[in-house]
Chain A
């Protein structure tokens, strides 16, 4: 399975943009890039996902490199509630078109300073 590499931790100031990087140099053409986050003592929650093009939603933006070997999750204005562990995950399609192999790494712990 293709793996991802993320920094262990990052810090941001409140109300400033945050760019969370993810490297996935062995990504295959059918791998989707997902981002989830896990707030303290909670289950993970979906943030955003994409395949080739940049994506925006109400929570964040996802910028995908042209060669797809890296991506960046962008939080436009960090709040204290955004302090969490952020996971970058590649979701592959198996031969029967179902992506059971959903692998979470250790993620990036984001601290937001007031």
Chain B
């Protein structure tokens, strides 16, 4: 199993540009998550999904959109990039979303908005 994969690894955007961060998992997990991590800080939850077709907001959803058309994929869309969105983005998945379930994380996408 490849686990959770993310593309691209690095990206530089200009203010106002759009992009999609890709996330794929091959573990047949129902739950998927997007986090962002600012320098020296912990992770903050942006959006999560409990299954195909179902998504919900996390702690910091403004400026982002998500979709979940398949079990495997959970892309994160930035429509109008702003410098405040400069961060490292991590995708994660878990089989279920129970409080005792382990989350598996991808390697991250480092995004810089100039």
Interface of A with B (CB < 8 Å)? 30-32, 36, 41-46, 49, 51, 87, 91-93, 97-107
Number of A-B residue pairs at CB separation under 8 A: 65
Query: In whole angstroms, what is the CA distance A97 to B103 when docked?
Result: 16
Given known A-B contacts A87-B42, A104-B43, A105-B42, A32 and B99 have beta carbons under 8 A apart: yes
Once the chains bind, are B96 and A98 in contact (CB under 8 Å)?
Answer: yes
Instruction: Say which size band chain B's interface belongs to.
Output: 20 to 34
What are the residues of chain A within 8 A of B56 when measuring CB–CB?
100
Query: Is B2 in the interface zone, CB < 8 Å from A?
Result: no
> What sequence of 0s and 1s flags, for each residue 41-56 of chain B, a beta carbon within 8 Å of any chain A beta carbon?
1111100101000001
Once the chains bind, are A46 and B103 in contact (CB under 8 Å)?
Answer: yes
Query: Is B74 in the interface zone, CB < 8 Å from A?
Result: no
User: Nearest Cβ distance between residue A92 and chain B, in whole angstroms?
Assistant: 6
What are the residues of chain B within 8 A of A97 when measuring CB–CB?
98
What are the residues of chain B within 8 A of A49 when measuring CB–CB?
100, 102
Once the chains bind, are B43 and A44 in contact (CB under 8 Å)?
Answer: yes
Query: Is B75 in the interface zone, CB < 8 Å from A?
Result: no
Once the chains bind, are B90 and A93 in contact (CB under 8 Å)?
Answer: no
A-B contact pairs, 19 of them (CB 8 A): A30-B99, A41-B108, A42-B108, A43-B106, A44-B92, A46-B103, A49-B102, A51-B100, A91-B100, A92-B99, A93-B99, A99-B99, A99-B101, A104-B35, A104-B42, A105-B42, A106-B40, A106-B42, A107-B42
The 7 closest A-B pairs by CB, nearest first: A43-B105, A99-B99, A104-B42, A104-B43, A98-B97, A91-B99, A46-B102
